[in-house]
Amino acid sequence: MEKLSICVICGSKNVTTKTKINDHAFSNKEFGVSRCNSCLVLFTSPRPKKNEIIKYYNLNKYDSYDTSVGLWGVLYRFSQKINNYYKVGVLKKHHMGSLLDYGSGAGSFVEYSNQKGFVSMGYEPINKTHAKGTVNTDGYLNNKYDWITMWHVLEHTHNPANTVKKLSGLLKKGGLMAIALPNNNSYDNFYYKNYWAGYDVPRHLFHFNRKSFFCFSKYLKLEIIEEKPLLLDSIYVSMLSEKYKKSPFSYLFGFIVGLVSNISALITGNYSSIIYILRKC
């Protein structure tokens, strides 16, 4: 484990401990969440080192990799199909072309976007998937892309700034990035507090909201040109949070809280999960 006393993103020493949260999904271990008072990002500390983090991914049960036929797995993959349709629609409004999906999980988005006219490949560093079009090596670095997508991936990286810098250097002229992140200023976070599944410690090493991600993108000289909500994520996260609370009616209560979260966000803009479309300044 490594304890961070300096913000990895901006280098500030102005860091305070915000709260402590259990890994409700697998280990039940407690992890701290600290706040950088300069760039406003939250981060998990202490956190597993790069060579330790794999221990906290249950590759048979983690939703991004799970292929089980249980009710939860069926619901997750159904919502994943809807989200893939929506994501491709968001990208197409800007332009099509070659696409790198960084952190592609089981390769669902790579497969779907290829079917819809993109020339897509995926890179997956943890799950050694054999999904079509997905690689586990650094071969993706040899190409340039019209799109680089990170669907709930950036928060898993040990150094988000370095990761985005490296990836933005792979963009063609006029290329764009799409980064989807949980929003810790959402209603469902305020409702569930330390049970909020969006924290997902220690797999989520960083925790953003709209303000902190704006600071992050400005620091990297990237411009946010569009924000789009992922409406199903609030329901998924709320159902999962209810499961963590051991609610006997997790699906029903989670659906209601997720729906309220989306309605609240119509006023505040703070959806549970947000896609940021970025370009180089």
Enumerate the domain spans of the chain: 57-280
Which CATH number is 57-280's, of 3.30.1360.40, 3.30.450.40, 2.40.70.10, 3.40.50.150? 3.40.50.150
Q: Dihedral, CA atoms, 57, 60, 61, 67, nearest 10 degrees?
A: 130
Q: Is the dihedral of CA 136, 222, 274, 80 positive or negative?
A: negative
Residue 71: predicted pLDDT? 60
- Integer Cα distance of 79 and 233 in angstroms: 9
Cis peptide before 182 (omega within 30 of 0): no
Residue 64: predicted pLDDT? 53
Is this structure's pTM higher than 0.85? yes
Residue 59: predicted pLDDT? 57
For the chain, give the percent of residues with pLDDT over 90. Answer: 75
Q: Is beta strand 30-36 parallel, antiparallel or unpaired with respect to 15-22?
A: antiparallel
- Cβ–Cβ < 8 Å for 165, 140: no
Average pLDDT of the residues of the chain: 90
Q: Tell me the pLDDT tens digit for each residue of 134-169.
A: 666 677 788 899 999 999 999 999 999 999 999 999
Whether 51 shows a pLDDT value over 60: the answer reads: yes
Whether 132 shows a pLDDT value over 90: the answer reads: no
Q: Distance of CA 197 to CAs 90, 117, 204, 237, Å? A: 25, 34, 10, 6
Determine which of 122-126, 153-157, 230-234 has the lowest per-residue pLDDT on average: 122-126
Q: Exposure pattern of 243-258 as b/e (b: 16+ CB <10 Å)?
A: bbeeeeebbebbbebb
- Cβ–Cβ < 8 Å for 111, 131: yes
Whether 199 shows a pLDDT value over 60: the answer reads: yes
- Cβ–Cβ < 8 Å for 126, 157: no
- 261-267 average pLDDT score: 97
Residue 128: predicted pLDDT? 65
Q: Tell me the pLDDT tens digit for each residue of 212-225.
A: 999 999 999 999 99
Identity of the amino acid at 192 = Y
